[in-house]
Amino acid sequence: MAKKTLRVRQTGSPTRRPQDQRATLTGLGLGKIGRVRELEDTPAVRGMIAKVSHMVEIVEE
């Protein structure tokens, strides 16, 4: 069975955000507006997305 994945797109800028939120974006493999990453759907990744939910969106396939 294939692992479930999420496609995440960055919609907000990390400029003038707290350091921990910038680090979370980097951990997700993001950093520039419009960048899209396909990530494994795990509780850890879901938590990271929730932390920066105002700067990212989940893209529907």
- What span, in angstroms and rounded, lies between the C-alpha atoms of 30 and 56? 9
- What span, in angstroms and rounded, lies between the C-alpha atoms of 17 and 3? 32
Per-residue confidence band for 3, with pLDDT thresholds at 50, 70 and 90: confident
Which has more pLDDT, 61 or 3? 3
CATH number of 5-59: 3.30.1390.20
In this prediction, residue 60 carries a pLDDT of 84
The pLDDT tens digits for 5-57 are 999 999 999 999 999 999 999 999 999 999 999 999 999 999 999 999 999 99
Q: Tell me the two tokens of residue 52.
A: 């920066």
Which residue is associated with the tokens 């493999």? Answer: 29
Does the model's pTM come out above 0.85? yes
How wide is the angle at C-alpha 6 spanned by C-alphas 27 and 23, nearest 5°?
15
Domain coordinates in residue numbering, the chain: 5-59
Give the DSSP letter of residue 42: -
Which residue is associated with the tokens 């520039």? Answer: 32
